[in-house]
Each structure stands twice: as structure tokens, then as C-alpha cells.
Amino acid sequence: MWRIPVVVLFGGLVLGLIGTMGLGLGMGAVEISPAQVLAILLDHLGFDTATEFSSTQDAVLWSIRLPRVMLGIAVGGALGVAGAAFQGIFRNPLADPHLIGISSGAALGTVVSILVFGGVLGSFAGPVGGIAGGLGAGVTVYMLARHEGRTEVVTLVLAGLAVAAITGAGASFLSVAADDARLGSVLFYSLGSLAVATWDLLWVTLPFVAVAVVFLPVAARRLDLLLLGEREAAHLGVDVERTRMVVVGLATTAVGASVAAVGAIGFVGLLVPHGVRLVAGPGHRVLLPASAIGGAALLVLTDVVARTVALPFEVPIGLLTAIIGGPVFLLLLGRTRREHGGWG
Amino acid sequence: MLVFAGFLATTLVASACGNDVDSEPAPVTAAIATPGLPYVYTGPDGFSSTVESAARIVTLSGDFSEIISSLGLGENLVGVDLSSVFPAEEMRSKPKVGVEFRLFAEPILALDPTVVIGDVDARPPEVIEQVRAAGVPVVIMPRLVGVDAPAEKIRLVAQILGIGTVGDSLAASVQAEVDAALARVADAVSRPRVAVVYIATQDQVLLLSDNTVFEGLLAAVGAEDVGPRAGVDGFVPLTAEAIVAAAPEVIITARRGFDDRGGLEGFLEIPGIAQTPAAATGRVLVYDDSFLLSLGPRSGSLLDLIISDLHPELALP
Amino acid sequence: MSAAAAIGLGYRVGDATLLDGVDLDVADGEFLGVIGPNGAGKTTLVQLLSGELHPTSGRVEIGGRDVATMSLSELALLRAVLPEHHVLQFAFRCLDVVMMGRYPHGGSEADARAAADRVMTKTDTASLADRLYPTLSAGEQARVSFARVLAQETPLVLLDEPTGSLDLRHQELVMGTLRDLADSGAAIVAVLHDINLAARFVDRIAILDGGLVRAVGTPEAVLRPDVLGSVYGIDVKVVPHPEVGCPLILPIGGGRVD
């Protein structure tokens, strides 16, 4: 069974990420040459170069594109690693934060939190609310899908759909009815956008994302054992309940903060872990970090397409991930079933 | 080093296929001097912007585009929003920066503007922040309503762009036209009940009243606004019962939505409309969107037209 | 002190009593077979012995200590469990699956790999090492799971129907391996459906019926027509095995509902 060597995998992913970062910084409505990109970056680090650039280019690169690319990396990484973690915990490759209702729950939580606690919590109202909403939705779906110690596939997807529908509608309604400038639009919460990226938003979001990306891989081995079955994992000494709570908690933290920042972006958490599994197997010690890097690269790349293909408009990024992700997911579905015996 | 190289390689590729908005900087004509600049403006959002040059203007709403054109600074308009359709010829050739309620920073900045003008409907606030962070003053005007609004708007825009004197005289003439039109109302005999219906989308038909551009306007033209009777403050989705209960004798609406619905036939199919006295007598007055909705230089003519349409007895024999 | 003991063990769920007053023990180096009709409570017994379920009466001791007082990680080093059904659906290689059995022992990846290799050779699963678990047949999966359980290297091994989907050869192999384990000092408790297979390899047999222990002792003592007849409701003839000498059970009919 051919598996890609780990070094090649991570090398490729990191190169891909650097490449998409380059694209993200170099492309956009305002023309900035590669030399100017480097010159501006170096300038901010204190080095002078001979290349000239205008103050507009400087501002666009430093205040708009750079935080946007950084936020894309943070959110993409969060979605990738969270998706992989959810799939491990639910023992189901269909578990994507978007599909099981956590993204919409987070959107609702964000909106409510900004409206109710915006004064008290300031810019942290968003991510805190997003995490709370995501946890609420996640717990609801999980409890509905559990039956006699197993997670039922069909119930998981259906419960996820229902929770997503209810919370998504709630978030959309509130964002329109409240008519508050602090809130995003319906389009923003349902399909996402990185157009709102600022350094402030990045700093507010980063701690939550970083916590998840750093600490989830610690549970990698336990997630592997959980795939054997909860009873088997317990027999091997894994505290299943605690592992579950920690993993779901961390993953939802990442997703909740991401949705609060840029709205709900689907399919990243579904596709990237699948891709990694296909080439490197389901072991979580590779899967989790690889999904983070892969998710980051994918999101930054998709964002570049989203904001350059239909100027002066931006295509909602969730639309692109769905358009690409949907068919690819169907392809993966068929191929994986044939080659790997499926997943029951 | 490897990272650096990879970085360089990809930005090279990126710029090679880089995308940019059509933004050949137009040669700036020194047609109008702007002695009033620099001008410091503090908008309703509390933010102060300093306008130093009116050489390259981007507008975020059609009414500002029209005003700027009327003030003679049309050549300085380097970018307009999609609602800028008047004057038609002029606006058609201008690069578009999107729609006011869904803005993006880079398309605006790609036009290298010296000032951006919009009103409180401009969103999202983060994008405004981003444009300001790039050093471009973004002027956010308050929503001005009422019969004095056109002149006020013209004066304010002119002041911001440093041509206060020009603005004052244009404003004065517009105000004169408005006053002249409104003076005719004194001779009006009828005082019809009027409903203002705006078709936004397929499913969004709105009833407009106070707190919109129409505040006080209907009273001024000698009509009774049915809005307050229907309990409308601002605009609400039209309900059949409400419009029937309000029983307007005349309905005013904007052309684009009207046409999209299929003209009068389609309009009358809107639930409740057909049961109004206005429908029975066919008194549905349709005006161009930009004409009707943006209070600007053409307001005098608009009011004149509406007054004639509402009060046939005033029409010259 | 026995390796494991059930003392007055009982388990009730709602109105149903699945086990009642079960006293059983197994010593180090002993292979205890558990047989009985469907629904007798055999799986429940294994779940209670492993600590997965908490008894509603009585207690389970492993190495003299009450299972309820021990942590999961302690237990993982003391007892390994092979359940009847296997749920792994993700495409792990069989070697990785067997290596998971080494988790309680910690240690380096290389050590774990070496241990797994040894176990897979012993269980004739080495040829499956690089195959993906979900692509295996039921029998092959059972054998790999068995290897995983052995890799856990515990003094007590609990198995629920370990030979269920295996062919004759691998049945012999599994039972022989368990016998060897017992001979080298481990305590084995296995629920078995094939009484004759049990008779040839185990030291003692416990017969469970309706949640009660009906008989426990050597195969010769316990496998008698009257006992088996009343437990299973069929007529049997018991003869000495021509080659090995242990009891050979031959069903001769009955069991129909009159």
C-alpha cells in the first residue's frame, strides 16, 4: 500500500503554503510587483531597499493583504485541524464542522454575543460567542447521534443538517433584524469573507486558533485508538470521555473563533483531512498537523481566487470552497470506497 | 534562504498573472480650482478626514456622482458605484467600484483616489477602515432628507471638495427651483392620499414613509402620506391588509422595479395593490429610480413633475 | 491469590437480571473456557471482568484488587480484552493496528514495532502487516485484532468468541497460542461457542446459563450429557476423544419444540 513519506508530505505542504502566501501578497486589484512586495516587507522590518513603492502600495500590502493572508492561514489551519479532529472523535469521515451544524451554531452565537455583550467584551464578544454557539450546536448534534455507545452515521448527518438549518436561520434573521453595523451580513455569516481582515481581527482570533492547533496534536495517539472503538480504546487505557471533551472543546474553539472572524466557510475541514488520509493514512500524528498546513494553504489560495476573479466584487469564499469541494468530495467518496473498502 | 527563494518565485508568478482593475490614471484637468482645500470633515461616525485634493474622486453612491458632475468636477470622478447612472453617458464610461453596501478595499485603492465620498449606508465598516488606513480620506455623509436636502447636499459636497462658492450658487439655484415648484401647491385643490411603493427585489416590496428620502416631501407637494396611517416609520415590507386599509388614491413608484414586474399589469398583481383606489383609477405614477430617489440637482424638476401629476388641476391648459 | 476473580458478581439492567451471584476465579497459568447458550450472560461476564461495566452486586478482583478502584491506565497493563465485534473502519495498516496494542506500555516507536512484529509472526499475521484493515475478510480482521490484544502483553487476557469467524487452521492456531500463553504464566478467560474446541485446550470450563454458573470444573467433570442436556436442551453423547482423550461432545438430536 503506497503511502507518501512523511518528509515529502510536509515538505510539499510547507512549500505549498509559502507559495500561496506569495500569491496572496502579490495579487490583487492594486498592482504591486514582487520586488515591491519584498521591499515593503523589508522596509517594515527595518531594512532599506532600492525599490520604490507608493504609500498606497505600502498600505495595501501591510494593512490589507498581509493581515488578510495571515488570517487566511489562521482560519484555514483552524478549519483543517478541527475537521480532522471531529472526524476522529465522531469516527466518521463525514464530520465537518460545517456539515454537523457547528459553523452555523457559531454564527448564531457570534451574532447574539455581539448584540448582547458587545459593550462588555468589545472585540472579544465575537469569538467568545462563536465558541459558545459552536459548542452548543456540537453538543446537541453529538448527543442526538449517540446511540448505545456508537455514533450513528445517518443521525449525525441529519441532526447536523437540522441544527445547521435552525441556527443558520437564526443568525441570518438576527443579522438583518438587528441592523447593527457591528454585525456582518447574512451573506457574510453563511458563506464567509476575508475582506474584513484587519490586524485587530487577527490578534483577536489568533489566540483561540493557536490553542487548538498546538494542543490538538497532543491527543493524536488517543484519537488513533478511539478509531478502534470506544470500548477498545478504554481497554487500552484511554479516558474516552475526557479525550472527547478536550478534543471537541479545542476543535470547536478553533471553529468558533474562525466563524466569528470570517463567517462560515465549509468543506475545508472535510476535504483537507481526506486528502491527507488518502496519501498518508489515518494516523493522527501526521493527519492533524498536515491538515492544519493544508487547510491554511487551501484557504489562502481560494481567497486569492475569490478576490481577483470578479473585480470589483469578491466572490464569497464559502461559495468557492463549496463549488470545488462538493464535486471533489463526491469523487473522493467513490474512490475511497473502491480502494479502501469504505467506511461502513 | 529557501523560504525566501520560494517566496520570490511565487510572487514573480503572481505578478505575472496579476489582476488589476482598469486604472490607467486619467489625466487630471485643471478645469476647476479647489481653493477651499484642504478641508477637514467630521462625519456622523465621529471620524475626521482631511481632504487635500479633489483630483481623483471615488463615489460610493449615485447621488454624489450626479452632484459632482453638476458641480463641474465630473472629469475628476475616477470611480463610481453601480448605482451611478446619471448623467448616463458620463457614468457609463467610469470604472465601477462595486455597490455601496458591499464594498471591497482594493478595487477602490487601485484607482488611487484622493478622496472617497459615501454616506452612512456604506458597508462594511472594516473596508472603510482599510481604505482610511491606506491614507485615503473617506468622507461619510449623514443621510439628508426633506425638501431642503438637495441644496444642503450640494453645498456640503462642494465644500468637501473645496469649491464652496460654486456649490453655493448651484445650491441656491436648485433651491430656487424647488421653492418655485412647491409654491404651485398653494393653488392646488386636491390633497390626494399617496403611497410610495418601492420594489427592491422579487419578494421585497416596500412601503416608504418618514425617515426615508421622502420625509416631509409628500406633505410639501400637497399630498397626504398614507405611511403614518399604516404605522410606517421608515420603510416596511408591504402587506396586503396595510395597503388596502391605507387606501391610497395615488401610488408613486420607481421605474426599475416596476418594469421588472412587468409594468402596470404585473404591478397590479402585487397582493393588495389591485384593491386600492389608485389601482381602480389607474393613478400609478412611475419615475426613474435615480430621478426619484436621489435628492440632487434635478429635485426641482422632480417636484414639478410630481406636483403636476398629483394635481391635474394645476396643469397648464 | 487468583489472577482474576468474580465474587458474588451480579448485574441488573432495569427488570432484567443478566448475571446473578456468579463466583468464578482463574489462576495464573490457567486457561478458563466459558460456554453456554445464547443470552446466558457470557458477554456481560467478560464486560464485567474487564471493568467496562460496573456490577450491581458483588465485585471483580484482578490480582487481588477491586477493579472498581483501579484507573484505566492501570487496568490497561493488567488485562487485555478481545471483543466479539470489531468496528475499525478507517484505513490503518494492520501493523499500525497491532502496534496500538502497545500503547499502555509507552516506549519508543521502534520498540513498539519490534514487539508488534514478534506478535504478528507468532499469530501468523505477518503477511497482513501492510494490508489495510478494512480490506481484510472477517476472519483476517479477527486474527489481526487477536494479535493486537496479544501485543498488549498483559497477565490476564479476556476474549469473547475469539474463534468465531476463523477457519479450522486458524482456530487451532489461536487456541494453541492461548494455550502457550497460559503455559507461560498468563491467565486466560475465553468465551467459546465450540465446546469441543474448548475441551481440547482449556484447563477448566464454566457453564453459564440464564445468568447463573451451572457448573465449573475440568472438562471431564463438567461436560456430561445430563448437564449439557439440561443447559442446551438437546441430547448429547459424550465420548473420549480418540487422539487426545478429552471429552468429545456429539449432539444426537432433540431441541425441537414439541
The number of CA neighbours under 13 Å toward the Cβ of C103 is 30
A92 pLDDT above the threshold of 70: yes
Given C72, C134, C135, which is nearest A237 (Cβ)? C72
CA C95 to chain centre: 22
Q: pLDDT digit string (tens) for B188-219?
A: 888 899 988 888 877 778 888 776 777 778 88
Regarding predicted confidence, which is higher, A3 or C225? C225
Q: Which of B138, B121, B136, B300 is nearest to B217 (CA)?
A: B300
- Beta bridge pairs of residue B206: B198, B237
What sign does the CA torsion over A168, A172, A177, A183 have? positive
pLDDT at B15: 44
Mean pLDDT over C228-256 rounds to: 88
The CA distance from C28 to A84, in Å, is 43
Among the ranges given (A207-211, A298-302, B11-15, B280-284), the one the predictor scored with the smallest mean pLDDT: B11-15
Q: pLDDT digit string (tens) for A12-22?
A: 999 999 999 99
C44 pLDDT above the threshold of 60: yes
Cβ-contact C20, C10 below 8 angstroms = yes
Mean pLDDT over A79-88 rounds to: 94
Mean pLDDT over A26-54 rounds to: 89
Mean pLDDT, chain A, integer: 89
**Do the Cβ atoms of A277 and C91 come within 8 Å?**
yes
The CA distance from A291 to A88, in Å, is 13
Provide the pLDDT confidence category of residue A337 given band limits of 50, 70 and 90: low
Mean pLDDT over A250-268 rounds to: 93
CA distances from A296 to A42, B279, C216 (A): 24, 58, 62
pLDDT at B10: 52
Read off the C-alpha cell for C47.
464486560
Read off the C-alpha cell for B256.
426599475
Residues of A with CB under 8 A from a CB of B: 15, 18-23, 25-34, 37-38, 55-56, 59-60, 63-64, 181, 184-185, 187-188, 195-198, 201, 307-309, 311-314
pLDDT at C37: 92
Mean pLDDT over B72-90 rounds to: 91
For residue B38, cis peptide bond before it (omega within 30 degrees of 0)? yes
pLDDT at C257: 66
A335 pLDDT above the threshold of 80: no
C71 pLDDT above the threshold of 50: yes
The CA distance from C127 to C124, in Å, is 7
C240 φ, ψ (degrees, to nearest 5): -70, 140
Q: pLDDT digit string (tens) for A212-233?
A: 999 999 999 999 999 998 899 9
- Beta bridge pairs of residue B57: B77, B115
pLDDT at A286: 95
pLDDT at A162: 92
- ipTM for this prediction: 0.90
Within 8 A of A221 by CB-CB distance, chain C residues are 103
3-state secondary structure of A331: helix
What angle do the packed helices A34-45 and A6-26 form, to 10 degrees?
Answer: 90
Residues 199-258 of A with CB under 8 A from C: 221, 224-225, 227-229, 231-232, 234-239
C89 part of contact set with chain A, CB < 8 Å: yes
Chains touching C by CB (3 or more pairs below 8 Å): A
B236 part of contact set with chain A, CB < 8 Å: no
pLDDT at C152: 95
Q: pLDDT digit string (tens) for A280-332?
A: 989 999 999 999 999 999 999 999 999 999 888 889 999 999 998 888 878 77
Provide the pLDDT confidence category of residue A344 given band limits of 50, 70 and 90: very low
Q: Which of C77, C51, C52, C82 is nearest to C149 (CA)?
A: C82
Among the ranges given (A95-99, B67-71, B253-257), the one the predictor scored with the smallest mean pLDDT: A95-99
Mean pLDDT over C94-98 rounds to: 95
Q: pLDDT digit string (tens) for A97-145?
A: 887 889 999 999 999 999 999 888 888 999 999 999 999 998 888 888 7
Regarding predicted confidence, which is higher, B82 or B7? B82
**With helix as H, strand as E and coil as C, how does A240-253 read?**
HHHHHHHHHHHHHH
Name the DSSP class of B34.
-
pLDDT at C256: 67
Within 8 A of A231 by CB-CB distance, chain C residues are 52, 81, 83
Q: Which of A28, A64, A106, A92 is nearest to A266 (CA)?
A: A106
A341 part of contact set with chain C, CB < 8 Å: yes
**Do the Cβ atoms of A18 and B8 come within 8 Å?**
no
Cβ-contact A107, A166 below 8 angstroms = no
**Do the Cβ atoms of B124 and A311 come within 8 Å?**
no
How many CB atoms sit inside 10 A of residue B169's CB?
A: 13
pLDDT at B16: 43
Question: DSSP labels for B294-316?
Answer: S-STTHHHHHHHHHHHH-GGGS-
Mean pLDDT, chain C, integer: 92
The CA distance from B263 to C99, in Å, is 75
Mean pLDDT over C15-40 rounds to: 93
Nearest chain A residue to C137 by CA distance is A341
C198 pLDDT above the threshold of 70: yes
- Most A CBs within 10 A among C90, C102, C189, hence the mutation to make, goes to C90
Question: DSSP labels for A21-40?
Answer: HHHHHH-SSS---HHHHHHH
Chain A: give the shortest CA distance to residue B75, in Å. 21
Within 8 A of A341 by CB-CB distance, chain C residues are 91, 132, 134-135
Read off the C-alpha cell for B186.
398653494
**Do the Cβ atoms of C72 and A239 come within 8 Å?**
yes
pLDDT at B31: 56
B108 pLDDT above the threshold of 90: yes
C258 pLDDT above the threshold of 70: no
Provide the pLDDT confidence category of residue A24 given band limits of 50, 70 and 90: very high
Mean pLDDT, chain B, integer: 84
A170 pLDDT above the threshold of 50: yes
Mean pLDDT over C103-110 rounds to: 92
Query: Which of the listed ranges B15-19, B130-134, C26-30 does the model predict with the highest average pLDDT?
Result: C26-30
**Do the Cβ atoms of C90 and A344 come within 8 Å?**
no
Mean pLDDT over A140-169 rounds to: 82
The CA distance from B19 to C124, in Å, is 62
pLDDT at B23: 43
C88 part of contact set with chain A, CB < 8 Å: yes
**Do the Cβ atoms of A228 and C87 come within 8 Å?**
yes
Phi-psi region of C52 (alpha: psi -120 to 50; beta: other; left: phi over 0): alpha
A236 pLDDT above the threshold of 50: yes
Regarding predicted confidence, which is higher, B312 or B20? B312
